[in-house]
């Protein structure tokens, strides 16, 4: 969907100026530009959407983004916030081995938020949905002291969903997508800089490997997870759910030059950005050792039997003392 020019009529208007129903009508105009698909029987405008469900498994996930906690408006523009909000939800369906089909979004915002911001957010959200053939079918709008975004996504799996609990000793641990780039961008922005631009852009607008989840499921992946909070932190979810030890091999990672530059400028270890960074929304999965990894996947470790410490994550065969990822509380 091409970016339209900002509406001149909204240039100086806030949400309080345009009003709830005025904003909703303009959002509906944006959403209507996307083909909803034959499965959408009733889209935005009623109390609820009505969808025709195909045979198979229905997969549902919900995520929340809070201004100041998950993004800052001075760092990320409204279109990119929309892309990020959609991407993190689409990636959850991807991590189950499925494909997203429909999303709803709730937006709470201050009354003095520029109305154009809300419309730009909607456009970015809809663009990201359209990139995987998913549709925005409804939502809600209310006021709040800061921007809060709540998204629910529905999708389907043509094969059995891939859970976090299926990893077994001897499985290969593999990764699809880039990792550590968004963390590098966040480190740069946090210090008041805007370069390397490629890392800042990676933070502002992630690029999840949307085809990798279904490909992994078709290949027989035993477990899978979306890496949103940090590689080691999310690997620990798999280890605990599966009752295993996940051993990550740092030699499997090539550290790209932009991450090396950020690490040098911040006097930090570039591997820390890879092992502890989140927000790239790559996928981590385990596969039986005799299974050929699908295109786009690379081996980064192995699954081991639990020892005295029980299910956990180790790095290069030993406990890891560095940061493992984001914590919400």
The reply, when asked if residue 140 is annotated as ligand binding, is yes
CA-nearest of 163, 192, 164, 183 to 272 is: 183
The reply, when asked if residue 25 is annotated as ligand binding, is no
The reply, when asked if residue 165 is annotated as ligand binding, is no
The reply, when asked if residue 279 is annotated as ligand binding, is yes
Rounded to whole angstroms, how far apart are CA atoms 268 and 183?
12
The reply, when asked if residue 268 is annotated as ligand binding, is no
The reply, when asked if residue 47 is annotated as ligand binding, is yes
The reply, when asked if residue 326 is annotated as ligand binding, is yes
The reply, when asked if residue 70 is annotated as ligand binding, is yes
The reply, when asked if residue 171 is annotated as ligand binding, is no
The reply, when asked if residue 228 is annotated as ligand binding, is yes
Rounded to whole angstroms, how far apart are CA atoms 128 and 106?
16
Cα dihedral across residues 12, 15, 17, 23: positive or negative: positive
C-alpha to C-alpha distances, 322 to 158, 203, 208, 221, 257, nearest whole angstrom: 39, 21, 25, 28, 21
Q: Regarding beta strands 223-227 and 135-143, do their DSSP bridges make them parallel or antiparallel, or are they unpaired?
A: unpaired
The reply, when asked if residue 62 is annotated as ligand binding, is yes
Q: What angle do CA 235, 66, 10 make, to 5 degrees?
A: 135
Residue holding tokens 């927000």?
A: 279
Binding residues for Mg(2+): 47, 61-63, 92, 140, 226, 229
Binding residues for ATP: 139-140, 164, 228
Binding residues for substrate: 70, 279, 326
Binding residues: 47, 61-63, 70, 92, 139-140, 164, 226, 228-229, 279, 326
């Amino acid at each position: 969907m091409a970016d339209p020019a900002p509406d001149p009529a909204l240039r100086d208007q806030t949400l309080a100026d345009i009003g709830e129903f005025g904003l909703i009508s303009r959002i509906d105009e944006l959403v209507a530009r996307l083909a909803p698909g034959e499965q959408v029987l009733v889209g935005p405008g009623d109390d609820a959407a009505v969808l025709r469900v195909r045979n198979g498994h229905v997969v549902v996930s919900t995520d929340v983004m809070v201004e100041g906690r998950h993004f800052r408006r001075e760092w990320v523009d409204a279109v990119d916030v929309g892309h990020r909000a959609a991407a993190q939800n689409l990636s959850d369906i991807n991590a189950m081995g499925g494909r997203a089909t429909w999303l709803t979004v709730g937006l709470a915002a201050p009354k003095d938020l520029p109305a154009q911001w809300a419309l730009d957010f909607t456009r970015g959200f809809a663009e990201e949905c359209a990139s995987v053939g998913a549709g925005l079918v409804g939502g809600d709008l209310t006021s709040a002291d800061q921007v809060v975004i709540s998204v629910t996504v529905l999708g389907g799996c043509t094969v059995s969903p891939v859970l976090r609990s299926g990893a077994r000793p001897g499985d290969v641990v593999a990764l699809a997508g880039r990792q550590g780039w968004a963390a590098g961008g966040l480190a740069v922005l946090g210090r008041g800089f805007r370069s390397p631009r490629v890392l800042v852009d990676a933070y502002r607008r992630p690029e999840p490997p949307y085809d990798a989840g279904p490909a992994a499921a078709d290949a027989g992946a035993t477990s899978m997870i979306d890496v949103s909070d940090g590689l080691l932190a999310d690997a620990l979810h798999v280890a605990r759910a599966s009752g295993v030890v996940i051993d990550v091999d740092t030699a499997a990672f090539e550290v790209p030059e932009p991450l090396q530059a950020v690490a040098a400028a911040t006097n930090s270890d570039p591997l820390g950005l890879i092992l502890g960074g989140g927000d790239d929304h790559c996928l981590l999965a385990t596969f039986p050792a005799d299974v050929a990894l699908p295109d786009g996947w690379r081996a980064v470790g192995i699954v081991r039997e639990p020892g005295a410490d029980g299910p956990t994550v180790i790095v290069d065969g030993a406990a890891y003392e560095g940061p493992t990822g984001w914590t919400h509380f």
